[in-house]
A = this chain, B = another copy of it.
Protein backbone atom coordinates (compact mmCIF):
# COMPACT_ATOMS: atom_id res chain seq x y z
CA UNK A 1 0.00 0.00 0.00
CA UNK A 2 1.28 3.43 -0.90
CA UNK A 3 1.48 6.40 1.42
CA UNK A 4 -1.98 7.34 2.60
CA UNK A 5 -2.07 11.09 2.91
CA UNK A 6 -5.55 11.03 4.35
CA UNK A 7 -4.65 9.13 7.51
CA UNK A 8 -0.93 9.75 8.02
CA UNK A 9 -0.33 13.35 9.05
CA UNK A 10 3.44 12.85 8.89
CA UNK A 11 3.38 11.95 5.19
CA UNK A 12 4.72 14.60 2.79
CA UNK A 13 1.77 16.65 1.53
CA UNK A 14 0.83 16.15 -2.12
CA UNK A 15 0.23 18.85 -4.67
CA UNK A 16 -3.43 19.07 -3.76
CA UNK A 17 -2.70 19.70 -0.09
CA UNK A 18 0.01 22.27 -0.80
CA UNK A 19 -2.28 24.12 -3.17
CA UNK A 20 -5.00 24.26 -0.54
CA UNK A 21 -2.61 25.63 2.04
CA UNK A 22 -1.39 28.25 -0.41
CA UNK A 23 -4.94 29.34 -1.23
CA UNK A 24 -5.76 29.57 2.44
CA UNK A 25 -2.71 31.70 3.24
CA UNK A 26 -3.41 33.92 0.25
CA UNK A 27 -6.97 34.47 1.44
CA UNK A 28 -5.77 35.38 4.93
CA UNK A 29 -3.13 37.78 3.64
CA UNK A 30 -5.50 39.49 1.20
CA UNK A 31 -8.21 39.74 3.85
CA UNK A 32 -5.92 41.25 6.49
CA UNK A 33 -4.52 43.74 4.01
CA UNK A 34 -7.99 44.88 3.02
CA UNK A 35 -9.22 44.96 6.62
CA UNK A 36 -6.30 47.05 7.82
CA UNK A 37 -6.50 49.34 4.79
CA UNK A 38 -10.20 50.15 4.65
CA UNK A 39 -11.73 48.60 7.74
CA UNK A 40 -13.47 45.31 8.45
CA UNK A 41 -17.06 46.25 7.73
CA UNK A 42 -16.22 48.24 4.63
CA UNK A 43 -14.48 45.22 3.14
CA UNK A 44 -16.65 42.84 1.16
CA UNK A 45 -16.14 39.11 0.95
CA UNK A 46 -16.35 39.53 -2.81
CA UNK A 47 -13.38 41.89 -2.64
CA UNK A 48 -11.33 39.44 -0.61
CA UNK A 49 -12.16 36.62 -2.98
CA UNK A 50 -11.32 38.77 -5.99
CA UNK A 51 -8.00 39.81 -4.45
CA UNK A 52 -7.14 36.15 -3.84
CA UNK A 53 -8.43 35.24 -7.30
CA UNK A 54 -11.06 32.74 -6.21
CA UNK A 55 -14.83 32.80 -6.25
CA UNK A 56 -16.83 34.01 -3.27
CA UNK A 57 -18.18 30.49 -2.85
CA UNK A 58 -14.68 29.15 -2.47
CA UNK A 59 -13.92 31.70 0.22
CA UNK A 60 -16.78 30.28 2.27
CA UNK A 61 -15.40 26.78 1.81
CA UNK A 62 -12.20 27.84 3.57
CA UNK A 63 -13.77 30.04 6.25
CA UNK A 64 -17.18 29.63 7.82
CA UNK A 65 -17.70 33.40 7.82
CA UNK A 66 -15.97 36.74 7.43
CA UNK A 67 -15.07 36.78 11.13
CA UNK A 68 -13.14 33.55 10.88
CA UNK A 69 -10.61 34.82 8.38
CA UNK A 70 -10.14 37.98 10.43
CA UNK A 71 -9.38 35.93 13.54
CA UNK A 72 -7.52 33.04 11.90
CA UNK A 73 -4.15 34.16 13.27
CA UNK A 74 -5.63 34.59 16.74
CA UNK A 75 -6.59 30.93 16.52
CA UNK A 76 -2.92 30.15 15.93
CA UNK A 77 -1.98 32.16 19.00
CA UNK A 78 -4.49 30.22 21.08
CA UNK A 79 -3.07 26.85 20.12
CA UNK A 80 0.43 27.95 21.07
CA UNK A 81 -0.76 29.40 24.35
CA UNK A 82 -2.33 26.10 25.34
CA UNK A 83 0.73 24.17 24.19
CA UNK A 84 2.91 26.47 26.31
CA UNK A 85 0.96 25.59 29.45
CA UNK A 86 1.15 21.88 28.63
CA UNK A 87 4.92 22.23 28.36
CA UNK A 88 5.44 23.66 31.83
CA UNK A 89 7.20 21.29 34.25
CA UNK A 90 4.92 19.64 36.78
CA UNK A 91 6.94 21.14 39.61
CA UNK A 92 5.66 24.65 38.90
CA UNK A 93 2.70 25.82 40.91
CA UNK A 94 -0.51 26.80 39.08
CA UNK A 95 0.00 30.56 39.06
CA UNK A 96 3.66 30.22 38.11
CA UNK A 97 2.84 27.81 35.31
CA UNK A 98 0.21 30.13 33.86
CA UNK A 99 2.53 33.08 34.07
CA UNK A 100 5.58 31.33 32.63
CA UNK A 101 3.49 29.68 29.94
CA UNK A 102 2.19 33.04 28.84
CA UNK A 103 5.62 34.62 28.57
CA UNK A 104 7.21 31.57 26.95
CA UNK A 105 4.57 31.32 24.23
CA UNK A 106 5.35 34.57 22.49
CA UNK A 107 8.50 33.43 20.70
CA UNK A 108 6.89 30.45 18.95
CA UNK A 109 3.78 32.51 18.24
CA UNK A 110 5.81 35.18 16.51
CA UNK A 111 7.57 32.61 14.33
CA UNK A 112 4.35 30.80 13.40
CA UNK A 113 2.64 34.05 12.42
CA UNK A 114 5.59 35.14 10.33
CA UNK A 115 5.14 32.06 8.16
CA UNK A 116 1.79 33.37 6.97
CA UNK A 117 1.93 37.17 6.97
CA UNK A 118 4.39 39.92 7.97
CA UNK A 119 4.26 40.40 11.72
CA UNK A 120 3.55 44.11 11.38
CA UNK A 121 0.40 43.31 9.40
CA UNK A 122 -0.71 41.04 12.21
CA UNK A 123 -0.06 43.76 14.77
CA UNK A 124 -2.07 46.28 12.77
CA UNK A 125 -4.86 43.71 12.54
CA UNK A 126 -4.87 43.31 16.33
CA UNK A 127 -5.86 46.96 16.59
CA UNK A 128 -8.56 46.58 13.98
CA UNK A 129 -9.97 43.71 15.99
CA UNK A 130 -9.85 45.71 19.20
CA UNK A 131 -11.72 48.61 17.63
CA UNK A 132 -14.31 46.65 15.62
CA UNK A 133 -17.19 45.63 17.88
CA UNK A 134 -18.13 42.50 15.97
CA UNK A 135 -14.56 41.26 15.82
CA UNK A 136 -13.82 42.09 19.43
CA UNK A 137 -16.94 40.17 20.45
CA UNK A 138 -15.93 37.10 18.47
CA UNK A 139 -12.42 37.27 19.87
CA UNK A 140 -13.66 37.41 23.44
CA UNK A 141 -15.81 34.37 22.86
CA UNK A 142 -12.85 32.43 21.51
CA UNK A 143 -10.80 33.47 24.51
CA UNK A 144 -13.58 32.16 26.71
CA UNK A 145 -13.31 28.79 25.02
CA UNK A 146 -9.56 28.87 25.47
CA UNK A 147 -10.05 29.61 29.17
CA UNK A 148 -12.04 26.42 29.53
CA UNK A 149 -9.27 24.37 27.97
CA UNK A 150 -6.62 26.03 30.12
CA UNK A 151 -8.67 25.44 33.25
CA UNK A 152 -9.14 21.79 32.34
CA UNK A 153 -5.39 21.38 31.89
CA UNK A 154 -4.72 23.10 35.20
CA UNK A 155 -7.15 20.79 36.95
CA UNK A 156 -5.43 17.79 35.36
CA UNK A 157 -1.99 19.01 36.48
CA UNK A 158 -3.17 19.35 40.04
CA UNK A 159 -5.21 16.17 40.02
CA UNK A 160 -8.51 17.92 40.74
CA UNK A 161 -12.03 17.31 39.52
CA UNK A 162 -12.81 20.47 37.50
CA UNK A 163 -16.50 20.04 38.21
CA UNK A 164 -15.96 20.30 41.95
CA UNK A 165 -13.04 22.63 42.59
CA UNK A 166 -13.54 26.11 41.17
CA UNK A 167 -9.93 27.20 41.65
CA UNK A 168 -8.66 26.28 38.16
CA UNK A 169 -11.50 28.22 36.57
CA UNK A 170 -11.04 31.12 38.93
CA UNK A 171 -7.30 31.40 38.42
CA UNK A 172 -7.54 31.18 34.64
CA UNK A 173 -10.43 33.62 34.52
CA UNK A 174 -8.56 36.13 36.63
CA UNK A 175 -5.34 35.87 34.63
CA UNK A 176 -7.06 36.02 31.25
CA UNK A 177 -9.16 38.95 32.36
CA UNK A 178 -6.05 40.79 33.42
CA UNK A 179 -4.23 40.01 30.17
CA UNK A 180 -7.20 41.17 28.14
CA UNK A 181 -7.18 44.43 30.05
CA UNK A 182 -3.50 44.80 29.17
CA UNK A 183 -4.21 44.09 25.50
CA UNK A 184 -6.91 46.75 25.48
CA UNK A 185 -4.54 49.35 26.85
CA UNK A 186 -1.80 48.26 24.45
CA UNK A 187 -4.00 48.56 21.39
CA UNK A 188 -4.57 52.23 22.07
CA UNK A 189 -0.92 53.03 21.38
CA UNK A 190 -0.45 52.95 17.63
CA UNK A 191 3.29 52.56 17.83
CA UNK A 192 3.56 49.83 20.45
CA UNK A 193 5.22 46.63 19.27
CA UNK A 194 4.90 43.00 20.26
CA UNK A 195 7.53 43.32 22.97
CA UNK A 196 5.59 46.17 24.52
CA UNK A 197 2.50 43.98 24.66
CA UNK A 198 4.36 41.18 26.43
CA UNK A 199 5.85 43.57 28.91
CA UNK A 200 2.51 45.24 29.61
CA UNK A 201 0.89 41.88 30.23
CA UNK A 202 3.50 40.75 32.73
CA UNK A 203 3.30 44.12 34.49
CA UNK A 204 -0.44 43.71 34.77
CA UNK A 205 -0.15 40.16 36.03
CA UNK A 206 2.23 41.37 38.73
CA UNK A 207 -0.44 43.77 39.90
CA UNK A 208 -2.95 41.02 40.48
CA UNK A 209 -2.09 40.26 44.10
CA UNK A 210 -1.66 43.93 45.11
CA UNK A 211 -4.97 44.82 43.49
CA UNK A 212 -6.78 42.23 45.58
CA UNK A 213 -5.56 43.80 48.80
CA UNK A 214 -8.54 45.67 50.12
CA UNK A 215 -6.58 48.76 51.05
CA UNK A 216 -4.56 50.22 48.21
CA UNK A 217 -3.05 52.94 50.34
CA UNK A 218 -0.94 50.77 52.58
CA UNK A 219 1.18 49.52 49.73
CA UNK A 220 2.65 52.87 48.76
Are A94's CB and B216's CB within 8 A? yes
Stretch at the interface among A1-9, A36-44, A107-115, A176-184: A176-184
Q: Which single member of B144, B151, B204 contacts A170 (CB below 8 Å)?
A: B204
Min distance, Cβ A57 to any Cβ of chain B, angstroms: 21
Given A140-B141, A144-B140: A93 and B181 within 8 A (CB)?
no
With A141-B133, A144-B140, A177-B177 in contact, is A170–B216 under 8 Å at CB?
no
Cβ–Cβ contact A93 & B166, under 8 A: no
Q: A93-B215, A94-B214 are in contact. Are A208 and B144 (CB under 8 A)?
A: no
Contact with B along A191-220 (1 / 0, CB 8 A): 000000000000110011111111110000
Q: Chain B residues near A213: list those with CB within 8 A.
A: 95
A174 and B214 within 8 A (CB): no
Q: How large is the interface on A (under 10, 10 to 19, 20 to 34, 35 or more residues)?
A: 35 or more
The answer, among B96, B140, B141, B207, for a CB contact under 8 Å with A166, is B207
Determine the distance from Cα of A160 to Cα of B72 in the docked complex, in whole angstroms.
Answer: 38
Known: A181-B147, A181-B173. A167 touches B209 (CB 8 A): no
A83 at the interface (CB under 8 A from B): no
Contacts of A96 in B (CB 8 A): 214
Question: A17 interface residue, CB < 8 Å from B?
Answer: no
Q: Note all chain B residues with C-beta closer than 8 A to A151.
A: 181
**A residues 103-161 touching B (CB-CB < 8 Å):** 133, 136-138, 140-141, 144, 147-148, 151, 158, 160
